[in-house]
Amino acid sequence: MKNQNKSNNLVENSFFFFNLLSRSSADNGGLINYLIKLFVFLEILVIYCLLCITFKLNNKSCLMKVFVTGGTGYIGSHTVVELQQNGFDVVIVDNLSNSNIAVLDGIEKITGIRPEFEKIDLTEADKVEDFFVRHKDIVAVIHFAALKAVGESVQKPLEYYRNNLNSLMNVISSMKKTGVKNLVFSSSCTVYGQADVLPVTEQTPRKQAESPYGNTKAMCEDIMRDVAKVEKEMNLLALRYFNPIGAHPSALIGELPNGVPNNLIPYLTQTVAGIREQLSVFGDDYDTPDGSAIRDYIDVVDLAKAHVVAIRRLLEGKNRNNYEYFNIGTGNGVSVLGLIKAFEKATGEKVNYKIVGRRAGDIEKVWADTSYANNELGWKAVASLEETLANAWKWQKHLMK
Burial (0-12, 13-18, 19+ Cβ within 10 Å), 256: buried
Q: What is the pLDDT of residues 359-378, one digit of tens each?
A: 988 999 999 999 999 999 99
Q: What is the largest CA-CA distance in the chain?
A: 99
* Percentage of the chain modeled with pLDDT above 70: 86
Confidence of residue 37 (pLDDT cuts 50, 70, 90): low
State yes or no: pLDDT of 28 exceeds 80. Answer: no
Query: What radius of gyration do the chain's Cα atoms show?
Result: 26
Q: What is the pLDDT of residues 147-170, one digit of tens each?
A: 998 889 999 999 999 999 999 999
Alpha carbon 247 to its chain's center: 14
Cis peptide before 199 (omega within 30 of 0): yes
Q: How far apart are CA 274 and CA 259, in angstroms?
A: 15
Please compute the mean of the pLDDT values over residues 223-234 and round it to a whole number. 98
How far is CA 234 from each of CA 41, 140, 163, 249, rounded to the nearest angstrom?
Answer: 45, 10, 23, 35
Please compute the mean of the pLDDT values over residues 293-307 and round it to a whole number. 98
Check: CB of residue 315 under 8 Å from CB of residue 182.
Answer: yes
Q: How far apart are CA 317 and CA 308, in angstroms?
A: 14
Weakest-pLDDT range from 71-75, 139-143, 259-263: 259-263
Q: Can you name the residues that pair with 89 across neighbouring β-strands?
A: 65
Catalytically annotated residues: 213
| DSSP one-letter string for 216-255 | HHHHHHHHHHHHHHH-TT-EEEEEEE-EEE---TTSSS--
Query: Three-state DSSP class for 286?
Result: coil
Position 49, amino acid: C
What pLDDT, on a 0 to 100 scale, did the predictor assign at position 7?
44
Q: Can you name the residues that pair with 116 across neighbouring β-strands?
A: 91
Query: In 242-384, which residue ranges form alpha helices assigned H by DSSP?
Result: 264-272, 300-315, 336-347, 371-377
State yes or no: pLDDT of 234 exceeds 70. Answer: yes
Q: Please, what is the end-to-end C-alpha distance for the chain in angstroms?
A: 39
Q: Which residue has the higher pLDDT, 39 or 17?
A: 39
Query: Whole-prediction pTM value?
Result: 0.85
Q: What is the pLDDT of residues 6-17, one digit of tens each?
A: 444 444 454 444
Query: Three-state DSSP class for 353?
Result: strand
Q: How far apart are CA 274 and CA 232, in angstroms?
A: 53
Query: Three-state DSSP class for 178?
Result: helix
| DSSP one-letter string for 62-110 | GT-EEEEETTTSHHHHHHHHHHHHTT-EEEEEE--SSS-TTHHHHHHHH
What pLDDT, on a 0 to 100 scale, did the predictor assign at position 257?
84
Check: CB of residue 323 under 8 Å from CB of residue 228.
Answer: yes
> CB atoms < 10 A from the CB of 352, how many?
12
- The closest alpha carbon to 164, from 183, 152, 147, 182, belongs to 147
Q: How far apart are CA 289 and CA 173, in angstroms?
A: 47
How far is CA 259 from each of CA 76, 97, 175, 262, rounded to the nearest angstrom?
Answer: 19, 11, 33, 9
